[in-house]
Amino acid sequence: MTELEQNTRIQLSLAHAGQTLDFSPLTASPAREVAIDIATAFHLAPTSVKLIIRGKKINLGEASVETVGEMIPGPGDTSVIKALVVGTKAQALDALKAEEDLRNKKHAAYLHHQQYAAAARPTRRGIHTFGGGGTADPADYRFHHLEPFPKTVPFYERRQAMLQRLAEDLAVRDVMKRHKFAVGVLTELHPVLHTNHSTGEKLLGLNTNAGEKVSLRLLTDDLDGLRSYNDVRRVLLHELTHNVFGGHGNDFKELNSQLNKEVAAFESSPDFEPWDPPTSHDRSKEEHRLNEEEAERVWDRLQFGQEDLLDERRERMRIAAEERARRTQSRPL
């Protein structure tokens, strides 16, 4: 290519979504760089930029080493080439990528769940029983194995730390020894499965075989973070109650309420020291103390097969109340 050809420009008149732009790139300019300039001007994703010139589609965004002069035909009878710009808005592409990433994360969690659900876990004799029918060694009244979802699921270290914190929670350990509770595996509940798709309500916890395995939903529904520790711990106490009672009758409610009260009383003790690993921030005792009245209200709202997605239920009640108030205000006097 001669120096004259390198300094030659192509006169383009670009149109996209009602906007027009006069653009004059050098014929020797890499097509991919020109695609970036056009994408910036029209807020498009660079790889999606295409030009339609006289019925021919030219994919600038996927060009490798071609120059503009090699990809765009000559102007013919006119010095200005009119081109229609086609492409995907950058914001829409980001949303699609985020949706795909979320789908992949959920799929990875699903595969992990399927793998471990199919595998039989041998447990020690009596590990999930209560009282005289169970193990006699006080050291066995604990969580024998912690099993977070793999690192392909978001927030692996935080999820692992929460399971560890639950297992080492002094108030929970006190309850387990007091009532002779033992759990074979403490793990996570799949963030997508165990959902009533007609109502949107999600299972927050699951006790398998009266203590063989307790699964807790740690991740938020959008996989963008973890649920609060105290909320997860309340669900854990609910599931520990299922070591004794399978249903949700009065006996279950009384024991569940008692467990919450015992945790609150333990953390109100002057000798109580909150669980605080070296890597965590300082936490006050108040942050770890369960509100006893709230605990009593919680068990009454738990329902078998739903296990109380209370935050979602409160939000729906709030929206319904606001809607009723608006209708009341709009009625003529």
Question: Helix, strand or coil for residue 56?
Answer: strand
The string over 7-16, giving b where at least 16 C-beta atoms fall within 10 Å of a residue's C-beta and e elsewhere, is eeebebebeb
Per-residue model confidence as pLDDT tens digits over 155-198: 999 999 999 999 999 999 999 999 999 999 999 987 777 665 55
- The number of CA neighbours under 13 Å toward the Cβ of 124 is 16
Is 239 considered catalytic here? yes
Tell me which architecture the domain covering 12-88 has in CATH. Roll (3.10)
For residue 110, is pLDDT > 70? no
Ranges of each domain in the chain: 12-88, 138-277+292-322
Comparing 6 with 81, the larger pLDDT belongs to 81
Report whether pLDDT(208) > 80.
yes
Q: What is the pTM of this model?
A: 0.47
Q: In which band, very low, low, confident or very high, does the pLDDT at 123 lie, cut at 50, 70 and 90?
A: very low
Beta strand 185-188 with 11-16 is unpaired
Q: Give the pLDDT score at 69.
A: 83
| Interatomic CA distance for residues 263 and 52, integer angstroms | 69
Q: What is the 3-state secondary structure (H, E, C) of 109-129?
A: HHHHHHHHHHCCCCCCCCCCC
- Determine which one of 147, 188, 201, 239 is catalytic: 239
Pairing, β 205-208 against β 213-216? antiparallel
pLDDT band, residue 274 (cuts 50/70/90): low
Q: Which residue has the higher pLDDT, 232 or 68?
A: 232
What would the mean pLDDT of 121-135 be, rounded to a whole number? 41
Confidence of residue 75 (pLDDT cuts 50, 70, 90): low
Q: Average per-residue pLDDT in the chain? A: 75
